[in-house]
A and B are shown apart, each in its own frame.
Chain A
């Protein structure tokens, strides 16, 4: 059990911070979370209007893992 717990911790670094510009929007939102294995938070999110997808809430560097990204219909763009 502990081995699995450690396996799930501190994922590898993949992504750099974007030069994002935040658009005006609501000041707050509250959504339910699923607690995987009792305490690993997972939230539902939409990505480019698609979904919802189940995303783990991580406090590590940005790491996103999708087999979906390889889909030809996915709207993500290759790195600029």
Chain B
């Protein structure tokens, strides 16, 4: 009936009072090591506003749409392959960062993107990582010489992890959960907008 990467269809997925019918799901026992029963992907909330309110430890699913981008809290989103990216100002260099709610880093750049960035010191090896089930890769990291801006939100000289990604992950930079945890994050896949709101307006030092 099933095996790795088998596909099935659920009659219903219910989170709180929201019901999502007819969702196709995959089975991959290799991901059981994540410590959860499953992984909720973008399709589950493709027609909803997904809000992950990190400070309040709350998830909100709602119907509606985000207002147009204002360059401050509401940013235009783009598809980066199957992922969702938002514009970044990385010490004056424009990049697109994939929003990764399960990536435990602050910010990540592939080596080609890192070559364009000005670091405060030469990136040094801090460990190895396995991404997307690929072979282990060397991870370097260094603090940026300048600040990173996500709309109006400023990260003060953040540390950037530098390592390659598998070919099927086309992103150049990633915004991880150590960055997202400061925000109430809302993703509107229908209008391709992302809102990052935060009561504190001071720069984030992490």
Contact = CB atoms under 8 A, between A and B. Distances in A.
Interface of A: 1-23, 25-49, 53-70, 72, 74-80
B7 A60 contact: no
B46 A17 contact: yes
Contacts of B72: none
Contacts of A44: 15
B30 to A, nearest CB: 7
Contacts of A5: 103-105, 129, 176
A34 B82 CA distance: 26
B60 interface: yes
B181 A31 contact: no
Contacts, number: 302
B37 A66 contact: yes
A42 B34 CA distance: 11
Interface of B: 1-3, 5-32, 34-44, 46-47, 50, 52, 54, 57-64, 82-84, 98-105, 108, 126-133, 136, 139, 141, 161, 163, 165, 168-169, 171, 174, 176-178, 180-181, 187
B129 A60 contact: no
Given A10-B103, A38-B181, A66-B37, 18 more contacts: A2-B127, A5-B129, A8-B102, A9-B102, A9-B105, A23-B21, A29-B16, A43-B15, A45-B15, A46-B12, A55-B37, A58-B40, A59-B83, A62-B25, A64-B27, A66-B38, A75-B11, A76-B10
Given A27-B63, A79-B8, A46 B14 contact: yes
Interface-centre pick from B15, B20, B126 (highest chain A CB count, 10 A)? B15
A47 B17 CA distance: 13
